[in-house]
Amino acid sequence: MARNIIVETIDEIAIEDQNVEIVERKGIGHPDSVADGLSESVSRALCRMYLDRYDRILHHNTDETQVVGGQSAPKFGGGAILEPIYILLVGRATTEVNGERLPYRTTALKAAYEYMKKNFQHLDPDWDVTLDCRIGQGSVDLRGVYETRKRLSNDTSFGVSFAPLSETEKLTLETERFINGPLKKKLPEVGKDVKVMSCREGKTINLTVASAIVSPLVKDRDHYIGVIDDLREAVADHATKCTCRDVKVDVNTADNYNKDIFYLTVSGLSMENGDDGSVGRGNRVNGLITPFRPMSMEASAGKNPVTHVGKIYNLLSYQIACKIAEIGKGDILEARVRILAQIGKRIDMPQAASVQLIYAKGVKPSRYASEVRGVVDECLENIDRITTQILRNELNVF
């Protein structure tokens, strides 16, 4: 049966030629990213448990994690977390097989604990976090669809993505990665909770960085101001390696030094003091929030990697868009991909796979139409690769 692949040319202004562009990136320590990271770590741990016991991944979706902020009292040179952060692991899983009860809650709690221990060195998950697991048994109907081994979609949903990333999008992504990566050696005072918001107007990009500062590592007011100045300078310098456009950088704009208002945190995470987080409110699978581009509201983190198209199709759409952009480099300015599934139908045979292309001036669409269709067909034919890549930790979902 032939797949329903629709390739069309659209006559729109490419993002790089538009006058205004807004892009956001929530770093790994942002409460929404924390919720995403925990959900995904729990899902992958359950996958490993199921594979070890039954050589197959059983039904589960752990994409409803909630982070409820605690209370803290940061101060220069110290501080304390007064009330722990509350984290609720929520979702559905296969909890029993042939009368055998499975350690799904223990597996989930261990995965969440290890994720926090690995990624947030200034947070003590033993004392600073209350972990609660309320993952329960899934719907019988959905499990029936899932367990047919035929890779049938367990939802009527769609995936959306685009490529290539614009210069502003790349800058936004790389700025956060730089702050939470190489810059940590120079500025350990900068916490993991980093958010980057970019606004391009014409040829000027305004970067607004919000960065939690680790209070025990900052001795006084002057030290804090020095860290912010160094962070601003480092980000501005790094930006010159990503773009030739003029870049203006602002850091922690809510600070008011005259009123002794500083973005201080004990752990480098805003969730220690009232900032909450939920799965799916943060980055899409390309690592960005892009209001000027097509996006899905579907949360990818925590969904099972076998039949949940809310996860698989978003990842697949991004891979397809990137491949199309690569083969049409310079000729295809934008590739937009949307894939729709029906519950109970094979995930490699979507109801519709739509590709919209914006071509450079003078390029004939007929030159790429067949090749683009071939890319989509090949990726759907080999959709199992997405599951394998997830299990090998080769794909990010936020």
Question: For 318-359, what is each residue's pLDDT tens digit?
Answer: 999 999 999 999 999 999 999 999 999 999 999 999 999 999
Q: Which residues of the chain are modeled with pLDDT < 50? A: none
Q: Concatenate the DSSP letters of all residues of 111-151 into one string.
A: HHHHHHHHH-TT--TTTSEEEEEEEEEPPHHHHHHHTTSS-
pTM for this prediction: 0.94
Given this model, what pLDDT does residue 175 score? 98
Alpha-carbon span 25 to 28, nearest angstrom: 10
Q: Do you find a cis peptide bond into 164, omega within 30 degrees of 0? A: yes
Q: Exposed, middle or buried, 235 (CB in 10 Å: 0-12/13-18/19+)?
A: buried
- Tell me the one-letter amino acid at 147: E
Show the CA angle centred on residue 393, arms to residues 392 and 396, nearest 5°: 140
Q: Where are the beta strands (DSSP E) in 168-276?
A: 190-201, 204-214, 246-251, 264-265
Task: Give the pair of three-digit tokens for residue 96.
Answer: 């029993």
Beta pairing partners, 71: 83
Domains within the chain, CATH numbers bracketed: 5-14+155-165+287-391 (3.30.300.280), 31-142 (3.30.300.10), 167-271 (3.30.300.340)
Q: Are 89 and 83 in contact (CB under 8 A)?
A: no
CA 151 to chain centre: 25
Task: Give the pair of three-digit tokens for residue 346.
Answer: 């094979």
Given this model, what pLDDT does residue 185 score? 95
Given this model, what pLDDT does residue 42 score? 98
Q: Are 208 and 196 in contact (CB under 8 A)?
A: yes
